[in-house]
Amino acid sequence: MISILKKEFNSFFASSIAYLVIGVFLLISSLFLFVFNDDFNILNAGFADVTPFFYLAPWVFLFLIPAITMKSFADEYNTGTIELLKTNPISDWQIIMGKFLASLLLILIAIIPTFLYVFTVYQLGNPIGNIDFGSTVGSYIGLLFLASTYTAIGLFTSTLSKNQIVAFILSIFITFILLYGFDAISNSFGSAFLTIKKIGINEHFKSISRGVIDTRDIIYFLSVTFFFLFITKSRLENE
């Protein structure tokens, strides 16, 4: 598994993928949080809070994480190297987890510079340091769980086609349905469908972002992540 992780992780930096993902993520986040005159702009909020970043990040990841994962297996199928991988003395789970952890590590590297946003808001507070650290820590934990779920979905869709663009679009579609689709259904049909929100990612992400780590939210993210990794393994076995 470690060899797959190193190979995948190094391939991100050998090409332009890693630099593009990190650069685009930080650029988009910075523009919305500090430059554009919109609801996400921290400077217009009137109080020290990084909540806008955690509203924005899931939507940015909706496009960036599929861009990272789309080649994971699609490229292997397209070039025929999947057969070489499967003949090596490593299990399907080791292949999947190596690719999964490599993608997740890249996302983690992209998130780390955003601690500067927290420091900036910390300094802007009146008095300095007037920031809800509980909510901020919870939001970062939620963001990591969110990223792991997105990554698992992306790995699965990359097994569905040899075409990376198809894998990219499918990943965005499935992730969007899980992120916002159930919220939209609940909001459209009222209280009768209120509980359907709990099937979606957004409800559990918002719950963790409040700073209270509920085991139900953790179990939800771990379950969805494992489900997509499991069906990814099933796809590999049937090839």
Q: Give tens-digit pLDDT for 64-103.
A: 999 999 988 888 887 777 777 777 778 888 889 999 999 9
Mean pLDDT on 207-228: 89
**Residue percentage of the chain with pLDDT more than 90:** 38
Of 53, 38, 21, 22, the closest CA to residue 119 belongs to 53
Of 139, 162, 148, 145, the closest CA to residue 72 belongs to 162
pLDDT in tens, 157-188: 999 988 899 999 999 999 999 988 877 777 77
- Between CA 72 and CA 197 the distance in angstroms is 31
Instruction: Kindly provide the b/e burial profile for residues 81-107, where b requires at least 16 CB atoms within 10 angstroms of the residue's own CB.
Output: ebeebeeeeeebebbbbbbbbbbbebb
What one-character DSSP code corresponds to residue 211? T
- Between CA 62 and CA 195 the distance in angstroms is 24
Of 167, 165, 152, the closest CA to residue 232 belongs to 152
Mean pLDDT on 144-161: 94
Mean pLDDT on 187-200: 69
Residue 53 near residue 29, CB atoms below 8 Å: yes
pLDDT, position 151: 96
Range(s) of the domain holding residue 132: 2-238
Q: Report how many domains make up the chain.
A: 1
